[in-house]
Amino acid sequence: MDAFYAAVEQRDHPELQGKPVIVGGEPGTRSVVSTCSYEARKYGIRSAMPVDTAVKLCPEAVIMPPRFRVYQNISGQINEIFRLFTPLVEPLSLDEAFLDVTGSLRLFGSALGIAGQIKKKIKAETSLVASAASAPNKFLAKLATSIYKPDGLIEINTQWVKEILPGLSIKMLWGVGDKTAGLLETLGFKTIGDIQKTSEDYLARYIGEKSARHLKSIACAEDSRSVEIPGRSKSTGSSVTFDHDSSNCIFLENEIKKLAGSVCRTLRAGGRFAGQVSIRIRFADFSEITRQEKLVPRSSATRNITEKALLLFRRSWNGKKIRLLGVTLASLYSEKNSQLDFFQVNTEKLENADKTADELERRFGIPMRLDCRKI
């Protein structure tokens, strides 16, 4: 997706069309740019840049707070479109995915044709623009969608690999960050073609055998990885870093409730039940603790899990200022265990109520959440 979060904000707020838009926190906080519009990128603003730096580059930029629930819902819509063409979908993030369309060619036509159909359907159903590339492997597909933006549509063939790939910067290689790029540049490597011409043994002297093998392979457009449908995760979690360190008990407990609610929705969306709850606390001095406890019986009910998370927090917090809080659910199963505590509140009604609220929110955007004020 092209400038996904910013594009959603421009779509939902027409007055932002054509303006430099930054999705992130307010200046003067620890916030970084989540995404920015193409108008903002002309000023040198990029994702992960501190918001304060971005505002200095473009004082007239409009800063919009992120609405991750909205972005998640739209991402779900887009993934449903993908699966109309192939079941082999590997999401990388909310705005990016690999699709294997090998088995769909007879039904839908060429790979480039399928990419074009997907782009049109995304535009028609979400009013958002995507860039797509058909390529023989993951590396080339990702590289092409990074280059040919916005609204890109391209087929990467043998001629492109021979004529275009060698002239690209080594920074375009997957896995080459600023540190590795700086080292390679001091050794005289500037383009992918430079890597192609050197031996793997020579590279290994400076970056190690494993990295040299990877670098040499992708520089030569070799990538044997297949598109993988994500397996069921062993845990699901959520965390928040505060703009300012806090020791306000009410604020901190409310954040625990929000985090627990978020991970419970994710849990229920996957039809899972948790057998363990853990919390993570990072203090202002960057020291950190993690505490966990079993959940018996397993549950996906927001109330039960929130109660456990709050109990862990109250036992663990020593009154020091906190920088980050996190809640994680582990020991995930597709069914509940049958052993019930005699005093355990029947959770089935709570879980069914939560599922109903989740469905209403998915369909209509109505935030029907459990009232945890009495927990």
What is the CATH classification number for the domain harbouring 122? Answer: 3.30.70.270
Say whether both 24 and 9 belong to one domain: yes
pLDDT score at 174? 87
Residue 175 lies in a domain: yes
Residue 352 lies in a domain: yes
Separation between Cα atoms, residue 94 and residue 77, nearest integer Å: 11
Per the CB < 8 A criterion, the answer to whether 356 and 304 are in contact is no
Say whether both 58 and 79 belong to one domain: no
pLDDT score at 351? 65
DSSP state of 49: S
Say whether both 143 and 245 belong to one domain: no
Separation between Cα atoms, residue 323 and residue 315, nearest integer Å: 18
Residue 226 lies in a domain: no
Separation between Cα atoms, residue 284 and residue 288, nearest integer Å: 9
Q: Provide the domain limits for residue 195.
A: 161-219
Say whether both 117 and 139 belong to one domain: yes
pLDDT score at 353? 66
Q: Is 68 helix (H, G, I), strand (E, B) or coil?
A: helix
Around 282, how many Cα atoms within 13 Å sit in the side-chain half-sphere? 12
Say whether both 170 and 150 belong to one domain: no
What's the mean pLDDT when you consider all of the chain?
Answer: 88
- What six digits make up the tokens of 362? 């998915």
User: Alpha-carbon dihedral of residues 200, 201, 205, 208, nearest 10 degrees?
Assistant: 60
Domain boundary at 133, 156, 179, which? Answer: 156
Residue 371 lies in a domain: no
Q: Which CATH number do you get for residue 169?
A: 1.10.150.20
Strands, E assignment, the chain: 21-23, 35-36, 62-64, 89-93, 96-99, 132-134, 153-155, 235-246, 273-283, 288-299, 322-333
Q: Which CATH number do you get for residue 324?
A: 3.30.1490.100
Residue-wise pLDDT tens digits, 14-33: 999 999 999 999 898 888 99
pLDDT score at 30? 81
Domain boundary at 156, 179, 195, which? Answer: 156
Residue 374 lies in a domain: no
C-beta atoms surrounding 40 within 10 Å:
25
Say whether both 299 and 356 belong to one domain: yes
Domains contained in the chain, number: 4
Separation between Cα atoms, residue 48 and residue 24, nearest integer Å: 10
What is the layout of strands, in order, in the sheet containing 21-23? 35-36, 21-23, 62-64
> Which alpha helices (DSSP H) does 135-245 contain, by range?
138-147, 158-163, 178-186, 192-197, 200-207, 209-219
Residue 370 lies in a domain: no
Domain boundary at 66, 83, 112, which? Answer: 66
Say whether both 116 and 57 belong to one domain: no
Say whether both 146 and 173 belong to one domain: no
pTM, full prediction: 0.64
Say whether both 76 and 61 belong to one domain: no
Say whether both 266 and 302 belong to one domain: yes
The span from the first CA to the last CA of the chain, in angstroms, equals 40
pLDDT score at 240? 87
The amino acid present at 91, given as its one-letter code, is P
Strands, E assignment, 15-171: 21-23, 35-36, 62-64, 89-93, 96-99, 132-134, 153-155
Q: Which CATH number do you get for residue 19?
A: 3.40.1170.60
Separation between Cα atoms, residue 276 and residue 299, nearest integer Å: 9
Residue 373 lies in a domain: no
Instruction: Single out the residue of 143, 207, 205 nearest to residue 173, CA to CA.
Output: 143
Say whether both 244 and 344 belong to one domain: yes
Q: Is 96 a catalytic residue?
A: yes
Per the CB < 8 A criterion, the answer to whether 170 and 185 are in contact is yes
Separation between Cα atoms, residue 337 and residue 347, nearest integer Å: 12
Catalytic residue among 15, 26, 96, 348: 96
Mean pLDDT, 10 residues at a time, the chain of 375 residues = 97 97 91 95 95 96 94 93 92 93 92 97 97 95 94 96 96 89 94 95 92 92 85 79 92 95 85 92 91 90 94 95 94 65 53 64 50 42
Residue-wise pLDDT tens digits, 104-162: 999 999 999 999 999 999 999 999 999 999 999 999 999 999 999 999 999 999 999 99
DSSP state of 104: G
Say whether both 274 and 291 belong to one domain: yes
Residue 372 lies in a domain: no
